[in-house]
């Protein structure tokens, strides 16, 4: 049974094996085992990701060999999961450090998602609806009693704003759906025209599931690229504090146009179009890395510490200052879902020599 879990975590599982795994997950005991493996997987990748394989094996063999009354046999393929015996000890130390430190700042613990309507009315979305629409928020029971009017300014588009620490899914007038990540804004009309284009404007990150309409293309506008589709699923990341905009295709086909040079490329499923200051490029990517956030996960695959800190700020609604610039280009791989910001930072510390402390509601990292 555990062989299926290992194959899943290594992205080596076949469709038939995946179906078998899903069936086994109906058993509560097996599901608990699966979750334990997943936790170990994320910590193992972070704690020993920069050590060569031979060195990993020697270190693990020594550590396990020193434990009384336990014999473990493993291959290179199963290395990270055998590492549970080392990590169990590390986790105990981590938890003791967390409780000594006390809680880290969470900023505004309950920031509101806001929807600014075309007439300038701003409504705070306070419930946990799985999908929101503009029409939904004409009913007062779905919104905070505090509704404000802007200064007689009428905007041509609705503007949905998602603060740090939150995510939301919105249904557009044509039935298309968009998941918005923390720190994102989406502008869109209450109705799409029957001719021309279905235009929306994104700042931040969104996962789009677009209803097909060959007569009226769907276009996502960002500062660095425009993405035009007829109907498909794709992810776009265009944060103002990132040096690139990335569009990743899940299924279908999309045309991407860089906004400065107007150069266009077409990408296929499993490919990304990346717009930077020096132009636009296409490369093959691991799609799961770019869409894990839609499930509430943080998935890092060979990401720099600098980029990871930006994602942690958005995900946990915290401010982080890194006073150890030598760490910025260190690369990590790992997966987190229900862990707190304390636990995530302590996991990084297992493999990296740094300290952190709180100063004026900000997390400060130093050597």
Q: What is the pLDDT of residues 188-208, one digit of tens each?
A: 999 998 889 999 999 999 999
Closest CA to 45 of 342, 287, 299, 296: 299
Structure confidence at residue 153 (pLDDT):
45
Cβ neighbours of 245 (radius 10 Å): 23
Mean pLDDT for all residues in the chain: 79
Q: What is the pLDDT of residues 302-315, one digit of tens each?
A: 999 999 999 999 99
| Confidence category of residue 34, pLDDT binned at 50, 70, 90 | confident
Structure confidence at residue 68 (pLDDT):
35
Query: Could you tell me the pTM of the whole model?
Result: 0.71
Q: What is the pLDDT of residues 238-272, one digit of tens each?
A: 999 999 999 999 999 999 999 988 999 999 999 99
Same fold, 113-289 and 297-366: no
Which residue reads 């394989």 in tokens?
Answer: 53
- Ranked by mean pLDDT, the top range of 71-85, 119-133, 299-313 is 299-313
Average pLDDT of 209-229? 96
Determine which of 128-137, 143-152, 200-209 has the lowest per-residue pLDDT on average.
143-152
Which residue ranges make up each domain of the chain?
A: 2-100, 113-289, 297-366
Report CA torsion sign: 98, 99, 105, 106. Answer: positive
Does the structure show a pLDDT above 70 at 347? yes
Rounded to whole angstroms, the Cα distance separating 142 from 78 reads 49
Does the structure show a pLDDT above 60 at 122? yes
Rounded to whole angstroms, the Cα distance separating 276 from 366 reads 30
Average pLDDT of 54-60? 43
CB 220 within 8 A of CB 194: no
Rounded to whole angstroms, the Cα distance separating 89 from 145 reads 50
What is the crossing angle of helices 305-316 and 341-351, to 10°?
160
Rounded to whole angstroms, the Cα distance separating 290 from 217 reads 24
Higher pLDDT, 87 or 332: 332
Q: Which CATH architecture has domain 297-366?
A: 3-Layer(bab) Sandwich (3.55)
Structure confidence at residue 40 (pLDDT):
60
Closest CA to 20 of 37, 35, 38, 7: 7
pLDDT > 90 in the chain, percent: 53
Q: Which CATH architecture has domain 113-289?
A: Sandwich (2.60)
Does the structure show a pLDDT above 50 at 23? yes
Backbone angles phi, psi at 245, to 5 degrees: -115, 135
- Ranked by mean pLDDT, the top range of 9-23, 97-111, 169-183 is 169-183
Does the structure show a pLDDT above 90 at 130? no
SS in 3 state form for the chain?
CHHHHHHHHCCCCCHHHHHHHHHHCCCHHHHHHHHHHHHHHHHHHHHHCCCCHHHHHHHHHHHHHCCCCCCCCCCHHHHHHHCHHHHHHHHHHHHHHHHHHCCCCCCCCCCCEEEECCCCEEEEECCCCCCECCHHHHCHHHEEEEEEECCCCCCCCEEEEECCCCCEEEECCCCCEEEECCCEEEEECCCCCCCCCEEEEEEEEEEEECCCCCCCCEEEECCCEEEEECCCEEEEEECCCCCCEEEEEEECCEEEEECCCCCEEEECCCEEEEEECCEEEEEECCHHHHHHHHHCCEEEEEEEHHHHHHHHHHHHCCCEEECCHHHCCCEEEEEECCCCHHHHHHHHHHHCCCEEEEECCEEEEEC
Higher pLDDT, 298 or 21: 298
């Amino acid at each position: 049974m555990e062989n299926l879990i290992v194959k899943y975590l290594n992205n080596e599982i076949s469709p038939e094996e995946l179906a078998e795994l899903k069936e086994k997950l109906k058993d509560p005991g097996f599901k608990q085992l699966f979750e334990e493996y997943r936790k170990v997987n994320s910590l193992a990748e972070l704690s020993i990701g920069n050590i060569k394989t031979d060195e990993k094996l020697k270190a693990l063999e020594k550590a396990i060999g020193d434990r009384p009354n336990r014999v473990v046999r493993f291959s290179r393929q199963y290395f990270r999961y055998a590492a549970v015996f080392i990590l169990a000890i590390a986790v105990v130390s981590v938890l003791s450090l967390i409780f000594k430190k006390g809680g880290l700042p969470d900023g505004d613990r309950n920031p509101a998602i806001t929807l600014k309507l075309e007439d300038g009315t701003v409504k705070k979305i306070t419930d946990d609806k799985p999908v929101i629409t503009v029409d939904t928020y004409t009913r007062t029971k779905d919104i905070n009693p505090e509704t404000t009017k802007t200064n007689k300014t009428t905007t041509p588009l609705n503007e949905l704003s998602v603060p740090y620490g939150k995510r939301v899914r919105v249904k557009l007038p044509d039935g298309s759906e968009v998941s918005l990540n923390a720190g994102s804004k989406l502008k869109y009309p209450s109705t799409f025209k029957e001719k021309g284009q279905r235009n929306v404007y994104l700042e931040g990150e969104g996962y789009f599931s677009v209803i097909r309409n060959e007569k009226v293309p769907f276009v996502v506008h960002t500062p660095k690229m425009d993405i035009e589709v007829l109907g498909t699923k794709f992810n776009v990341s265009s944060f103002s504090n990132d040096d690139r905009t990335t569009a990743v295709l899940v299924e279908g086909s999309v045309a991407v146009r860089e906004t400065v040079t107007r150069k266009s490329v077409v990408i296929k499923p499993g490919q990304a179009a990346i717009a930077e200051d020096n132009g636009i490029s296409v490369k093959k990517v691991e799609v799961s890395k770019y869409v894990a956030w839609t499930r509430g996960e943080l998935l890092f695959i060979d990401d720099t510490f600098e980029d990871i800190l930006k994602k942690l700020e958005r995900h946990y609604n915290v401010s982080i200052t890194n006073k150890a610039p030598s760490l910025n280009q260190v690369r990590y791989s790992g997966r987190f879902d229900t862990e707190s910001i304390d636990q995530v930072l302590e996991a990084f510390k297992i493999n990296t020599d740094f300290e952190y402390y709180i100063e004026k509601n900000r997390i400060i990292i130093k050597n």
